[in-house]
Chains A and B, each alone.
Chain A
Amino acid sequence: MINGLGPAQYVLILQGLKWTLLLSAIAFGGGVVGGGMVALCRASEFRWLRIAATCFIEVFRGTPLLMQLFMTYYGLALLNFPLDPWIAVAIGFTLNASAFLGEIWRGSIQAIPRTQAEAARALGLHYWPMMVTVVLPQAVRLSIPPTVGFLVQLIKGTSLAAIIGFTELARTGQLLSNITYQPLLVYSVIGAVYFVVCWPVSWLGKRMEGRLAAG
């Protein structure tokens, strides 16, 4: 039994933090790509693409993240993938982030007045040139604050990987708490580490929102 948190324990916490940040980065990167596709499908001119994207979004927004992780974990096993928590959580969080970012960006795309698209059409632009040069640049500006806000939700969400058994920050906390018998101290420290990571991001998101509102 170890009393309290010594330097060795803090090194473990930093290692856990490293995996939390890595997992968040992978999920966010994958989510940006996936979410971009989902948003474009959702705002597309083809009906069945819109329907497919809507179903995808609704399924991931209407069910618990924890269930989605279980489903990817056990679903991958059925497809004869090895039962590796790391792959499962990376895929699970990427899909989840794709759905949420897709919905955020869909909102931003549709917040751009129709007349902008119509003007682009009137100037003879086809779908892609219109999207890339007229609609998306304006939509991206609108979408940055909620995207940053979602990043906080994503970082906090990665703590659920601990339940699957992936050793990131929250799981490191569980392990340390079991070793030291000081859950109050350990979970306060782990909570503080999450706070130190998430709070600046939240603050940034809010500041950007304020700027956008100011024009």
Chain B
Amino acid sequence: MSYKFDFSAVFDNFNELLLGCLATLAMSIAGMILALAIAVLAVIGLRLRPRWFKYPVGGFVEVVRNTPFLIQIFFIYFGLPAIGIRFPPDVAAVIALSINGGAYAIEIIRAGVEAVPRLQIEAGQALGLHPLQIFRGIVLRPALCVVYPALTSQFIFLMLTSSIVSSIAARELTHAAAVLEGITFRSFEVYSVVTVLYGIMAILLSICFSLLFRYRISYPTR
């Protein structure tokens, strides 16, 4: 192998990559929050059950889960302007991440909500709680607790998926890498460093999620 590795080209521009990391984190966290909001609203809608509501939700989940993220983001960024809906790349990226994450989160949270025993809800009703109080305290909170591991690993996966939004030139880590590659021609070095950075972000997120669980989400069960 005659190739000489030269990482200096990468580390001279390391600030650009760190900014890319921040952008990736910001974008994915915004996506996660919106995805959670979409999922919780959809699950509330399913609980309130006008019968027809499960059809649009089910259709949404199936369509999003059975098409590639790349096509979803192309559809939003390149397709929608044809009917006059235009977003800048960064916004399109966050929307695509929220929709994609939302569809998976609906499935996960719905499973958790369905696992809450009816008896507990009836106990809440017997105590004279408002339906919203019942939903928040007796249904949603325990459900989120149960599905927390599945939900957070899905969200970490969402952060990794966000590298795909570089294909519409949304400014995040992979885009920063592509720019740097274009300047330095050190493709392998750039992408190996960026891969490591993604790995570090995934580990950091997973640490944050478990801290969040310990101090904010979990509660004593007895």
Contacts and interface: CB of A to CB of B under 8 A. Distances in A.
Q: Check if A and B associate.
A: yes
Interface of A: 59, 62-68, 70-71, 74-75, 77-80, 152, 156-157, 159-160, 162-163, 170, 173-174, 177, 182-184, 186-188, 190-191, 194-195, 198-199, 202
A65 B159 CA distance: 12
A10 to B, nearest CB: 17
A150 to B, nearest CB: 13
B79 interface: yes
B199 A79 contact: no
Contact of B78 (A77, A177, A194): A177
Interface string B167-178: 100000010000
A159 B192 CA distance: 22
Contacts, number: 117
A24 B65 CA distance: 17
Interface string B130-173: 00000000000000000000000000000011111011000000
A170 B199 contact: no
Contacts of B192: 71
A163 B191 contact: no
B66 A202 contact: yes
24 contacts: A62-B202, A64-B161, A64-B162, A64-B163, A66-B163, A66-B164, A67-B195, A70-B187, A77-B187, A80-B1, A152-B66, A156-B67, A163-B164, A177-B78, A183-B81, A184-B79, A184-B80, A186-B79, A187-B79, A191-B71, A191-B75, A194-B66, A195-B67, A202-B62
